[in-house]
Amino acid sequence: MTYLSLILSPLSIINIIFGAIIVFHGRKTPSVTWAWLFVIVMLPYVGIVLYMLLGFDGRRRGVFVEKRIRDTENYREFFGLSPSGHDFINEQMDILKRGAFTEDSCPIKLDEIVYLNMIAGRAAYTEGNDVQIFTEGGPKFDALVADILGARQHIFLQYFIVRDDSLAKRIIEALTSRAREGVQVRMLVDGLGCLRTPSSLFTPLISAGGEVATFMPLHLGALNYRNHRKIAIIDGRIGYVGGLNIGNEYLGLSKRFGFWRDTHLRIRGDAVHQLTLSFIMDWNFAHKKEPLSLSGDLFPANNIQPGTSALQILSSGPDTEWSSIQYAYMKLINSANSQIIMQSPYFIPDDSILEALRLAALSGVDVRIMIPAHPDHPFVYWAALSYLGDLLRAGVRCYKYEKGFIHSKVMVIDECIASIGTANLDVRSFRLNFEINAIIYDLKLAAETAKQFHKDVQDCSEITLAWYNARPRSVRVREAFSRLVSPIL
């Protein structure tokens, strides 16, 4: 039987009709819908199975609506919002106007960006934060363990991946020691990211009085919608957020990846309260039997400002009304006057981001993008190359990081504003994953992050338009196929 006759057989036609019904019923975006139909047609029978595993929403949509309602109540309680929220908005904008970081020091129209993040992402604007940037795993985890051992009241950890290795055991040991001393310890892990992590890893912590919960354990229709956040909160005064999961590979000890280049933040100040709020809402979703309340002990007052950085902590996911991190990326790109630099291990932008970057480059903005040279997902890499090819023609400069694996999720605009967090520049981060980013309004930190990017360029090979046009036919075919299915990668 030929492949064409297989596709046109009665059973296959029924398969395609059934696939079309369930895909269109899902009310996905047109690009996602057509990508799934392509998979179902080209992979008879198997395509339906893949869709049921990866694309079917099941009860998720209703569950996330319920979470959104509860989260909205938590936001209103935490910020003391009136039904309209106008008082809070006015107060926030007054803080911005009185602050040192103004349009006199930064050419970007700040009030629009801050306002967008408040409305779409419920991200409070806080000043006086101290921010430390880590670009490797070793120093970050040394600092985290030291902060854990210094905890006096509570420790909250939330990670997408926790490996069963020496780094994880070091952190669990530190958490266990504090739990034995009466410190409240809670750890939230993702059901897919920790699928192969044995529960025995957490046994010492649980035996010492700590609690561990799993965000969305795997079942049919729950492979998507993963909690990709990586945060830690110590006593409500110190917070961590960024790209580093817990595992030896993030220390650069993996033979496959070698040196691991990432970006992670250590924050002190009122911005930590927003990390705490995000953790509480995710914890209560995963651990409904014993929910955390918005106790004042979890949000201690900072009577002295520890630093000078202004921040917004921006969360987004399938439970939020708006794709707030995607909107923030678009707004930042469209606000750039001179330079945009971006690092992302997965670069699969939707049309809105792609057009914004193309428009910026064609308008004379210096746009530079960095991806890994040795990807962990080949289809994602080939799809990324196809999108970068479009941008090269508009004048964007693109780089492949050769030193090891770059996992950093960074954007810097005009060396004024930086975004650092967990969200990649791909459709999955925009619409399927639970993500969290810090938007940093600090000239010094933005310049420091841009300087690190230019340092990383020394470990890159540049993707030129000449190189791209000369790529082998086999790569072109892989790109074409990968781009067709990129909305569902």
Examine the pLDDT at 33 and tell me if it is beyond 70.
no
In the numeric block, the tokens 């399927």 are attached to: 432
Catalytic residue among 140, 228, 264, 273: 228
Q: What is the 3 state secondary structure string of 393-436?
A: CCCCEEEEECCEEECCCEEEECCCEEEEECCCEEHHHHHHCEEE
**pLDDT for residue 49:** 61
Say which range, 102-116, 341-355, 448-462, has the weakest mean pLDDT: 102-116
Active-site hit among 57, 235, 262, 282: 235
What's the confidence (pLDDT) of residue 54? 61
Between 70-74, 114-118, 274-278, the lowest mean confidence (pLDDT) is in 70-74
Give the pLDDT of residue 225. 84
Residue 199 pLDDT > 50: yes
Residue 102: per-residue pLDDT? 63
Q: Which two tokens stand for residue 421?
A: 């967090």
Q: 117: part of which helix (H) or strand (E)?
A: helix 110-121
Q: Tell me if residue 409 is catalytic.
A: yes
Per-residue pLDDT at 9 exceeds 70: no
- Is 154 a residue of the active site? no
Residue 368: pLDDT over 60: yes
User: Of all residues in the chain, what percent carry a pLDDT higher than 90?
Assistant: 62
Question: pLDDT category, 457, cuts 50, 70, 90?
Answer: very high
Residue 6: predicted pLDDT: 47
Q: What is the pLDDT of residues 42-96, one digit of tens each?
A: 666 566 666 665 655 655 567 788 888 888 888 888 877 655 556 677 777 777 7
For residue 476, what pLDDT band results from cuts at 50, 70 and 90? confident
Rounded to 5°, angle at Cα 140 from 153 and 341: 125
Q: Lowest mean pLDDT of 293-297, 368-372, 423-427, name the range.
A: 293-297
CB 340 within 8 A of CB 367: yes
Could you read off the pLDDT of 287-346 as tens digits, one per residue? Answer: 888 889 888 899 998 888 899 999 999 999 988 889 999 999 999 999 999 999 999 999
The answer to whether 460 and 7 have CB atoms below 8 angstroms apart is no
pLDDT for the residue numbered 295: 83
Average pLDDT (388-392) is: 94
| Residue 374 annotated among the catalytic residues of the structure | no
* Phi, psi torsion values for 441, nearest 5 degrees: -105, 85
pLDDT of residue 146: 98
Residue whose entry in the numeric block shows the structure tokens 């923030």: 328
The encoded tokens of residue 378 equal 């080949």
pLDDT band at 1 (very low <50, low <70, confident <90, very high): very low
- Nearest of 478, 129, 178 to residue 307 by alpha carbon: 129
Q: Where are the alpha helices (DSSP H) in 290-427?
A: 324-335, 351-362, 378-392, 427
Among 154, 273, 331, 409, the one annotated catalytic: 409
- Lowest-pLDDT range of 46-55, 260-269, 276-285: 46-55
473 pLDDT more than 60: yes
Q: How much of the chain, in percent, has pLDDT values that exceed 70?
A: 82
Out of 67, 140, 230, 264, which one is annotated catalytic? 230
How do residues 88-115 score in pLDDT, each as one tens digit?
A: 777 777 777 776 666 567 778 888 999 9
**Taking residues 250-255, what's their average pLDDT?**
95
**CA angle, corner 439, sides to 385 and 175, nearest 5?**
95
Rounded to whole angstroms, the Cα distance separating 489 from 486 reads 5
Q: What is the DSSP string of 241-278?
A: EES--BSGGGGT-BTTTBEEE--EEEEESTHHHHHHHH
Q: Both tokens of residue 68?
A: 């959104």
Q: What is the pLDDT of residues 14-32, one digit of tens each?
A: 666 666 655 555 555 666 6
pTM metric for this prediction:
0.89
202-228 pLDDT, tens digit per residue, is: 999 999 999 999 998 876 556 778 899
Query: Which pLDDT belongs to residue 27?
Result: 53
d(CA 268, CA 131): 7
Annotated catalytic residue within 154, 407, 426, 442 = 407
**pLDDT, average across residues 281-286:** 95
Average pLDDT value over all residues in the chain: 87
Catalytic hit among 57, 147, 270, 414 = 414
Q: Give 136-145 pLDDT, tens digit per residue.
A: 999 999 999 9
> Does the annotation count 230 as an active-site position?
yes
Q: Which two tokens stand for residue 443?
A: 């000239």
pLDDT tens digits, residue range 132-175?
A: 999 999 999 999 999 999 999 999 999 999 999 999 999 999 99
Is-contact 421 437, C-beta < 8 A?
yes
Q: What is the 3-state composition of the chain as percent helix, strand, coil, each rounded to the nearest 5?
A: 45, 20, 30
